[in-house]
A and B are shown apart, each in its own frame.
Chain A
């Protein structure tokens, strides 16, 4: 599903929602998300639905256990191996299938399940429907962001839909220009650029596609009065690797911090090692390949061990230069290198 088709489906849902009350937006977008994924990737839709059922059953069963029970605290991590279907569907099924939405949906399913189980008010069983909503929420179905369905639940219950602004329309258009025109242009011209320049062009193409689609997701969701997390916060301003990960793919960075780093650290793993482990997970989540394993490992090691740049201007500039050299090279290595 390309960015433009994704937007077309979101706009169709917007038309459907016009005569309906505000609260209908979330269910309409969930149904549209299910239809969209089924149209373009029927096996993926079925797989996500099965994961939703798996997660819902886990939540219902584990909610009966004591809050300190190991199953209640960690059992939902059993959802995460479902991510392997993205990379191993062909040997499992005997033919390659479209795996649209799986990577992001499973993360959201997991986050929602964890949030439901950790709620101090206890589980209200009908709330497991928010696992389905998080999985198939149309604006986020293609490229994220990742979030918990309970965040959607809060906005749904608040029923205070902020009106979309002209800026939202403009940002959706900007997203289209980035994801369609700029990404294609930089990708096309990358072949003509010699040496390391090719890696730079490919990185810009990847960033344009990712940022553009994130803008479409975030701002089109506001057409329905729902606010999603922002994935990119001017990453070109990053001064260090730490700053980079506070600006780049923020929702996923937040996920690995909250659900991989923190639990490992709380269970006794030193913070640096926990950071390396968290970002190694992030790498393998992208793609089960040696290239992305190295990508995650190196990002984790840099986050854990790289010193912050000094205050002097030359130190900041040198830090920025090194940062971007490493980020661009790792991106090229993971996506186009010999082990990709």
Chain B
């Protein structure tokens, strides 16, 4: 039985290869469906909206597409959106999208910096989190990690010594491990129906049941404003009060901005026009001019779009309180934010 270890090696290798193909990783459908979207055998959409759960709840690509069609502009719109992402998590799916489907003409890239103070210390760690490790190729993981600075949180020692930072070798070994687990978990997940197929509306909703998707123009017209529950409103306002500033040039944002820069380079390198998107929080009707100036300093050639700029008066007041919580719009908010983006998009497409 000298070769029992060899048998183990063969067994684990087969499991890893099968598991990598099956992709039954211990991750939500949201991650998996974004990769399925990126790897479809279809040409690229004209416009891709990229962002976090704010984009998932607040912008409906189907409705935007319908508005454009109504105005005879006609452009295909898709959304790549992850819940609780840092910028590093967008690199592999976007790279896959560009490689498989080609570069979109235009991308709205949400400035998805972290705003929660209790998450900031480790928001950029690990550089390649579970989503990247599972679905990313080695070249993509290296592109995210190699030479990437981290947020400066004021530690005496380099943050690369932090327990959440992982070497590339550790990352790749973890990838193999996740593939083995994927092979073992595939059948239980299928039996328990915890691995829904990424097709149809579920795919366009980025594998998330709460995503805004599929509003028609007629349906959108019938959505009415409703006041928020006062307790929810107060909680949301208290949450926003404690938000960190965006501050893209600050040392403590250095890692996040570096990853954002890599995303921009990937997209622009493929020939895509990039527009930064700022999604509003509750009550937010404008972006601080200092923040805009700071963004311009760091990214001088990139426009910034803030949907609330399209609105004023009572309607702006209503939209700014059309939220489910501090950061996620409800249907009324989604209709108007999507409409605003459609109007902006129309102007950009006409210019092109």
Contact = CB atoms under 8 A, between A and B. Distances in A.
Q: Tell me whether A and B are bound partners.
A: yes
B170 A94 contact: no
B127 interface: no
A301 interface: no
A2 interface: yes
B12 interface: yes
B8 interface: yes
Nearest to A168: B4
B132 to A, nearest CB: 17
A207 B12 CA distance: 24
A41 B177 CA distance: 18
Contact of A8 (B7, B159, B166, B173): B173
Q: How large is the interface on A (under 10, 10 to 19, 20 to 34, 35 or more residues)?
A: 20 to 34
Contacts of B166: 40
Contacts of A2: 174, 177
B27 to A, nearest CB: 15
Contacts of A95: 153, 155, 157, 159, 161-162
A50 to B, nearest CB: 15
Q: How large is the interface on B (under 10, 10 to 19, 20 to 34, 35 or more residues)?
A: 20 to 34
Contacts of B180: 4
Interface in B1-60: 1-2, 4-5, 7-9, 12
B351 interface: no
Contact of A166 (B1, B170, B177): B1
Interface string B134-173: 0000000000000000000101110101110011011001
B177 A8 contact: yes
20 contacts: A5-B177, A7-B12, A11-B8, A39-B167, A39-B169, A40-B170, A41-B163, A42-B161, A93-B161, A94-B155, A95-B155, A95-B159, A95-B162, A96-B162, A97-B161, A164-B4, A166-B4, A168-B4, A169-B8, A223-B5
A43 interface: yes
A251 B8 CA distance: 27
A332 to B, nearest CB: 25
Given A8-B12, A93-B157, A95-B159, A164 B177 contact: no
Given A8-B12, A166-B4, A168-B4, 20 more contacts: A2-B174, A5-B174, A5-B176, A5-B177, A9-B173, A11-B9, A14-B5, A39-B170, A39-B173, A40-B167, A41-B163, A94-B157, A95-B155, A98-B163, A164-B5, A165-B4, A168-B1, A169-B5, A173-B8, A220-B5
Contacts of A252: none
Contacts of A166: 1, 4
Contacts of A173: 8
Interface in B181-200: 181, 184
B340 to A, nearest CB: 42
Nearest to B177: A4
A311 interface: no
A4 B177 CA distance: 7
A229 to B, nearest CB: 21
Given A8-B12, A93-B156, A97-B161, A169 B7 contact: yes
A181 interface: yes
A81 B61 CA distance: 60
Contacts of B1: 163-166, 168-169
A4 B182 CA distance: 13
